Amino acid sequence: MTQDAGLTSVDSILADAQQELRRARSALQELSKVGMALMSERDPAQLFDLILTQARALTGSDGGSLYLVEDEDGERFLRFLHSQIDTLPDLASPNFKLPLDQGSIAGYAATTGEPLILEDVYEIPAEMPFSHNKAAFDEKFGYRAKSMLVVPMIDHKDRVVGVLQLINRKSDPNAAIHTDEDSDRWVLPYTEREVAIVSSLAGQAAVSIENGMLYQDIENLFAGFIKAAVTAIDRRDPTTSGHSVRVTELTCDVAELISRQTEGPFADRTFSEEEMKQLRYAGLLHDFGKVGVSEETLVKKKKLSPVMGAKVEGRFQLIRKTLEADAACARADAIQEKGKEGAAADVAAIEAKLAEDLATVERYWQAVLDANVPRVLDEEAADVLDEIAQQTFIDPEGKEQAYITPHELHFLKIKRGNLDENERRQIQSHVVHSYDFLLNIPWTEELSRVAEIVRGHHEKLDGSGYPDGVTGEQLSLETRIMTVCDIFDALTASDRPYKKAMPVEKALQVLQWEANDGMLDKEIVELFVQSGVYKKVLERDWREF
């Protein structure tokens, strides 16, 4: 061999080595990118798809499948989760289970914990415990499976969490493998290089899957907490049961509607999946602060609390009995002094006076009952209450008592609704209680604005709302949406004992009035009304969450 030939041979070897080094560096770079992508993906379906896509890209595989080890009632098995195949792009992924044993190709890799290379799945050695059933897939769908690489996905605790199965490594990425001729022409065997790459990817995938499952468990745990919180709200205030769920559904539906707008004021505004999740949590928890409001105020149905109302009713019963007892004593005294016949005129006068007094007491009692109902109190009714408050009687212990006390008169003379200013402030404080509670939750970055959205849901664009009296510039779009939905449900809800449900048309009119007055976002109200999105919550019982 000449010196030139020797140099040429060395140059060729160096060139091959350099090319292999470049391929190795490229593979490492791709693996690093893939690893970062896998660690950042939290959605299980997207994660599984990403694993297969990257494994196929790194190895030039026509298809691939992903299995996950699952445990159900103490039985461990392999769940077929996802598949991809370029030759059959429209083929849907089936859903089935495989025993976790060596009777299948995937099961063999899972139980041994070792990668498995098959040059041709139609020529598997007879001594192997598994086989390839070409009739089940190849013949059914017009495919030719040949080379296969099956790699167990092993996590950092050396546990097999699943199996990554690749099929038909191709020399031409665009080739379709339908026949024996296609496989002979285009399919390459898997080598130790692919084993190393896929094994590294499988390890990263295993950790990502484990993290994804852990994240999903945390999500489920938090969803359970949210459900428990809503249940606590409903049990604390049964009169508004279902309100939080209805407001959430309405708010999220409006947000999704906004995301679909292609023209108009919301054409450039969309809500991401994480933003929708944030909005849903905010909706479900927007009234959680009610747990910090006194029960007497929270469940109050009329102007007088149940205890106060019972005291007034009992006092009026006592007034009647006292009048009757006084009349009976007066009759007895008259008869004793004048005799039955001589006292007839006196007795008649006593009976007439008793009837008149009882009628007056009954008129007063009806006035109290009417005033106790949460509605607008006119001046005439207020004057009657003042008259009642000036009346007194002598109780059985000889003490002078008022028909109604100044404290009771204060509540009965509430001009609108059933709460006085102090109680109204207590109810309004639920917003701050909700905000303070939500601030104590270590939200992720994607959910960091839940407390902010909740705090503003009773604010108005003109600054007339509470608790902070802020104006529109300080209120997010999410909060504006929730405000409209919250008001609509409060107006139309049929489960409020202190008021009748407002007809839907009237409630929509109220929203439009407030929008025209600059209190609500006019564009949101217009979309809310014109879309008919509100009809959903009127068609079913939302008490069950």
**Maximum Cα interatomic distance, the chain, rounded to a whole number of Å:** 161
The 10s digit of each residue's pLDDT in 317-375 is: 999 999 999 999 999 998 988 888 888 898 899 999 999 999 999 999 999 999 999 88
Is 331 part of a structural domain of the chain? yes
Asked if 457 contacts 482 with a C-beta cutoff of 8 angstroms, the reply is yes
Do 183 and 79 sit in the same domain of this protein?
yes
Which contiguous run of DSSP H or E holds residue 98?
Answer: strand 97-99
Do 100 and 138 sit in the same domain of this protein?
yes
Using the 3D structure, point to which of 417, 442, 458 is the last residue of a domain: 417
Asked if 58 contacts 197 with a C-beta cutoff of 8 angstroms, the reply is yes
Residue reference for tokens 């994660």:
47
Q: What is the dihedral of CA 290, 295, 300, 305, to 10 degrees?
A: -150
Amino acid at 60: G
Do 409 and 528 sit in the same domain of this protein?
no
DSSP string over 401-448: EESS-HHHHHHHT-SSSS--HHHHHHHHHHHHHHHHHHHTS---GGGT
The 10s digit of each residue's pLDDT in 86-120 is: 999 988 888 889 999 999 999 999 999 999 999 99
CATH number for the domain spanning 487: value is 1.10.3210.10
> How many residues make up the chain in this entry?
545
3 state DSSP class of 499: coil
The span from the CA of 62 to the CA of 174, in Å, is 9
Do 371 and 498 sit in the same domain of this protein?
no
Do 400 and 432 sit in the same domain of this protein?
no
Is 232 part of a structural domain of the chain? no
The alpha-carbon radius of gyration of the chain (Å, integer) is: 39
Q: How many CB atoms lie within 10 A of CB 246?
A: 24
- Domain count of the fold of the chain: 3
Residue 314 above 50 pLDDT? yes
The span from the CA of 118 to the CA of 541, in Å, is 58
pLDDT on residue 33? 54
Do 158 and 186 sit in the same domain of this protein?
yes
Which tokens hold the place of 500?
């009748």
Range of the domain at 150: 23-215
Do 206 and 78 sit in the same domain of this protein?
yes
Do 186 and 317 sit in the same domain of this protein?
no
Is 66 part of a structural domain of the chain? yes
Do 365 and 269 sit in the same domain of this protein?
no
- Span 440-458, mean pLDDT? 92
Residue among 243, 295, 238 nearest 490 (CA): 243
The span from the CA of 213 to the CA of 462, in Å, is 46
Do 78 and 211 sit in the same domain of this protein?
yes
Is 9 part of a structural domain of the chain? no
Chain centroid offset of residue 442 CA? 17
Is 14 part of a structural domain of the chain? no
Is 1 part of a structural domain of the chain? no
Using the 3D structure, point to which of 215, 246, 271 is the last residue of a domain: 215
Do 286 and 321 sit in the same domain of this protein?
no
Sign for the pseudo-dihedral over CA of 20, 21, 22, 25: positive
Helices 192-236 and 273-285 meet at what angle, rounded to 10?
20
pLDDT on residue 545? 46
Is 545 part of a structural domain of the chain? no
Range scoring the smallest mean pLDDT among 134-143, 167-176, 202-211: 202-211
pLDDT on residue 11? 62
Is 133 part of a structural domain of the chain? yes
The span from the CA of 238 to the CA of 256, in Å, is 30
Q: Where are the beta strands (DSSP E) in 131-188?
A: 148-154, 160-170, 187-188
Do 160 and 250 sit in the same domain of this protein?
no
Binned at pLDDT 50, 70 and 90, residue 459 comes out as very high
Using the 3D structure, point to which of 215, 245, 273 is the last residue of a domain: 215
CATH number for the domain spanning 51: value is 3.30.450.40
